[in-house]
Amino acid sequence: MLGPVAAWSGGRPLSVGGPRQRCVLGALLVHLGREVTVDQLIGYLWNEDPPRTARSVIQVQIHHLRQLLPDRITTTSGGYTLDVDPETVDLHRFRALRARAASAEPEVAVELLDQALDCWRGVPFSGIGSEFLEHSVVAPLREEQWSAVVAWASCALDLGRQAEVVSRLTPMVSEQPFRERLHHLLITALWRDNERARALAVYESFRAHLAEELGVDPGPELTALHGRILRDDARTESGAVPVPSDGPDPGYVVRNDLPRDLPDFTGRREPLRILDEMASGDDGLAKVCVITGAGGEGKTTTAVRFGYEAGKRFPDGQLFIDLYGYTANKDPLDPASALAALLRAVGVGPESLPESLDERSALWRATLMGRKTLVILDNAASYAQVSPLLPSSPGSMTLITTRNDLAGLSGARFLSLGMFDEATSLELLERVVGRDRVRAEPEAARDIVRICDGLPLALRVLAGRMVSRPRWSFAHVARRLGERNRKFRELRVEGQSVESAIDLSYQSLTADQRRAFLLLGLMIGNTVDLGGAAALLDMDLEEADDILQELVGVCLLNEPKGDVYRLHDLIRAFSLDRALADFTDGEVGAAKARLAEFYLRTAQHAAELMGVQDPDEDPLRHRTNLADREDAESWFSLHQENLTDTIEYFAAGDNGDSAWRLAESVWRYYALHGHMSLLISSQERAFQASDKQGNQRGRAVTLIGLGIAHCLSGRFDESLELLAEARDLLEAVGDRKGLNRALANLAMVYERLGRFDDSRVALRRVLEYAITTGNTKVEALQWGNLALLHRTLGDYPEALRSCEQALSKSSDDDNADMRVRARLTMGETHLGLGEPDLAFRTLNEALESAQRQQLVASQIYIHNALGVAHRAAGSWEKAVECHTEALELGEASGNRSGDAEILTDLGMTYHAAGRHEEAAVELERAYAIAAERNERYIAARAALALGRLPVPTVPTDRARTLLRDAERAFAEMGVPELEQAREALAGLDRD
């Protein structure tokens, strides 16, 4: 039952470990089916002062919990999710029962709520966790409990079960001495149960406690009940729970202070839906929502729009006050002054205003008690400023707009608006400028949206300028925005300025925060992780983490995922302009150099974990911890575009040596995951820098990278030329390791061109070198390549032996892509040996591994091989589906090296299925592509398949020509398809 974290199986308790492990389990159960980030878990355990080993501690707890709950905990990009049946978790059973009760008749509702409350047996997370856990998780859960108690008691009173209400609520009011609604229900139950004296005693005890602790009186609803009991008003004894009259008390002023609503308000449908859902909830609590975001995101306009839409929900008034947290030439409004203004607004005379802040705050809460009022506290600066201003009346709602995170505000809902997406941005432009102007220049309008990066203020300023200048086109505005030092001048109209909005946040920073903010404007690429930021800021990780979180807290820096940071485009433009003005050229250059070196060194470390290059023993001060290949892949995935920008940075600075070294580190990740454009652009830029400086080794390394890129793109002749040049250069400089890399890639191209003898010779040279030097990674890779060659030549026993060698020389954490390709070849070999069950099992294992590790290139060939296997099994539709999946993956990734082979196999599948016309179309495509690329083996296979199609799909004369060409090619290559070509020719001659 709900309370301390515990677990049972078959009615017997399970050991769930110590306090930390129970805390982690409890957090996963509360957020069942949703991601709980590592940062959340750290906060739940240690508040804001975690040990350096915090992440490791959490990983250990998760490991133990996985043993307790096998296959239930999944690792996500930022943390973990738990997947168990909600019906087995007390909290979710409680919520489900309470939800059912909400729409049920009182007789049913009271039973459902009884069952829901039976799910509780104490305080959640008792004895474990931090204050942050208490405020952010435990307190809201307790509020759910008390809300259910109130709902149950209300239903029970309606049914005349006042004795049960007295029994349940009597111990509860002592535990919750300030919950007025509980006292109201208990007093009502006592009165109806003919316990008038006890009812009055409970009231007096509550009134005295309020006066002593808070200096306030009970609210008007409870006061009115007290008066009725004193009068012993029999008219209400058997009726519904008494409620106050609808009209406000004399002297209270109902008013609407909301600013003007924007007629062209756009977007924010989801935030408005969430606010409406909050306002409509009847949980007996005062509601608080904090709307956060950077300057210009539209926090105030969203709050005001909600105020107008939900006005009928708040009949006792809609109050608005600007707290001047971020206002030019104005200090933030102190809470005492703010309370004076709010109290005067609702009718409290100046002579009745207390002097002290605490007394004003108590009077404010007492004045609004029992009323349904919306209060908007705009432009808040801090928790201390808003805390005294929060009403406590059930049915009231407070919206706080702020650029700060307002740490410490417990029980509040936090709503981050974020930027507009493209569709919403265009909708705003259409509403302000006019639909015709936007739709006349759709691409130029999208350029404006991209420049503004979805910032509502920037879009509204530009739209306002265009309204007043009807001859301006979007293309003209985009050109003006693109001019150096002009962007912020264009984003300014009278009363509104994007630069000023950002500057107000900037001016609120400390000196250290300002320096960090400006340095972040110098980042290479669009994002930076914690390690890169530490390098850029020249700080230790812990120090950098603190200051980055401070900038996130004031909405000048985004954290799209844990420990990854991004500046909004316009905020970055502001930061960069100030940095170039405030820092010397030397300081700017040193900061960028630190970050570029971080990317180079970390990429080399990641490449070493992927088996691409040897480890670097020189330790890094600024680092991102990478423990294994999976970490390396994730890091490359996160920074793939930043690394390309870093190569450009090195090349532009005539640092060709660093450019080619970084290009050498990233090529394998780009190749394995199908990022052809990034692979080609990075290698070409590094090649240009090396060539410019006459760096022969750098030139050769980037020639290999370009050769691989051209091979994967299906340009085999170009690839062969580039790799051959790299081989010659590396032989000339005596770089045997680089030479072997060139030879290994040449062998791959030779195989695609049908030059199997040349491929075998190159592979043997590399394999011998690897064995001699004890390099098992390279040895495993070459055994895998030899296995593919043997399979193509029909030497299946040797192919299997080579696959087994490849797998035995590596592990799951080492050369994972090679192991996938070895299993692919093994599956194809089993198929060639007539062992379909083994083939399917091995190929499916390979596909699962390739998908898990996002090895796109391998997935293409595995899907195609599965198509061949399904064809052999007579499953034509499934085979076509697999071939098509392979083609679509190749097209999406830019890896077109297998197009001709896959189309050939697809055509053969159509032939086997009797769909001859479709077979001819795909085989003709395959034949044309293979012939153009000089893929002799695939071209011969396509010719053989075409020649075997029946007349009249392929005329006899053309079939004979195709088969003779295939026979000659197969004979020269020494492959088993030679006999098939000869048999097909003989069949034609017999016909």
More confident residue, 282 or 40: 40
pLDDT of residue 881: 93
What is the pLDDT, as a whole number, of residue 945? Answer: 93
**Contact assessment for residue 831 and residue 879, using Cβ atoms and an 8 Å cutoff:** no
Residue 764, C-beta contacts closer than 8 angstroms, at least 6 positions apart: none
The three-state secondary structure class of 292 is strand
Q: Is 357 exposed, middle or buried (0-12, 13-18, 19+ CB in 10 A)?
A: middle
**Average pLDDT score over residue span 228-253:** 51
- The pLDDT value given to residue 295: 83
* 661-714 residue pLDDT tens: 998 888 888 877 777 788 888 888 888 888 888 888 888 888 998 888 888 777
Residue 322, H or E segment: strand 318-322
Cβ neighbours of residue 368 closer than 8 Å, sequence gap 6 or more:
316, 346, 391, 392, 393, 396
pLDDT at residue 241 is higher than 70: no
pLDDT digits (tens, 9 = 90+) for 152-181: 888 888 888 888 888 888 888 877 788 888
pLDDT at 240: 40
pLDDT value, residue 901: 92
DSSP 3-state of 529: strand
% the chain with pLDDT above 70: 93
Radius of gyration of the chain (CA): 36
Separation CA 368–CA 219 (nearest Å): 9
Q: Which stretch, 3-12, 344-353, 488-497, 842-851, has highest mean pLDDT?
A: 842-851
Token match 């350029």: residue?
Answer: 447
* Eight-state DSSP code of residue 48: T
Do you find a cis peptide bond into 952, omega within 30 degrees of 0?
A: yes
Average pLDDT over residues 83-92: 86
How confident is the model over 549-564, as pLDDT tens digits?
888 888 888 888 888 9
* Percent above pLDDT 90 for the chain: 23
Q: Which residue has the higher pLDDT, 594 or 550?
A: 594
pLDDT at residue 521 in the model? 92
Cα 752 to Cα 934: distance, rounded to the nearest angstrom? 9
Q: What is the mean pLDDT of residues 335-352?
A: 86
3-state helix, strand, coil in the chain (%, to 5): 65, 5, 30
Identify which has the larger pLDDT, 826 or 779: 826
| Lowest-confidence segment of 13-22, 107-116, 357-366, 625-634 by average pLDDT | 13-22
Task: Quote the pLDDT of residue 923.
Answer: 94
pLDDT of amino acid 627: 81
In angstroms, the Cα distances linking 614 to 604, 801, 916 are: 9, 28, 52
Taking the C-alpha atoms of residue 405 and residue 831, their distance in angstroms, rounded to an integer, is 61
Q: Is the torsion defined by CA of 681, 687, 692, 693 positive or negative?
A: positive
pLDDT higher than 50, residue 204: yes
Q: Are 824 and 857 in contact (CB under 8 A)?
A: no
Of 314, 363, 358, 324, residue with least CA distance to 342: 363
pLDDT tens-digit series, residues 839-851: 999 999 999 988 8
Q: In what helix (H) or strand (E) does residue 270 lie, and over which residues does it extend? A: helix 269-280
Q: How far apart are CA 113 and CA 151, in angstroms?
A: 8
The partner residues of 74 in beta bridges, in order of sequence, read 81
User: What mean pLDDT do residues 233-261 have?
Assistant: 57
Q: How confident is the model at residue 933 (pLDDT cuts 50, 70, 90)?
A: confident
Write the DSSP assignment of 208-231 as a string of letters: HHHHHHTS-PPPHHHHHHHHHHHH
pLDDT at 106: 81
Q: Are 529 and 595 in contact (CB under 8 A)?
A: no
Q: What pLDDT, in 10s, does the model give residues 526-542?
A: 899 999 999 999 998 88
What does the pLDDT average to over 743-752?
A: 87
760-776 pLDDT, tens digit per residue, is 899 898 888 888 888 88
- pLDDT at position 237, please? 40
Cβ-contact 875, 912 below 8 angstroms? no
Residue that the structure tokens 């409890």 belong to? 26
Residue 833 predicted with pLDDT over 70 = yes
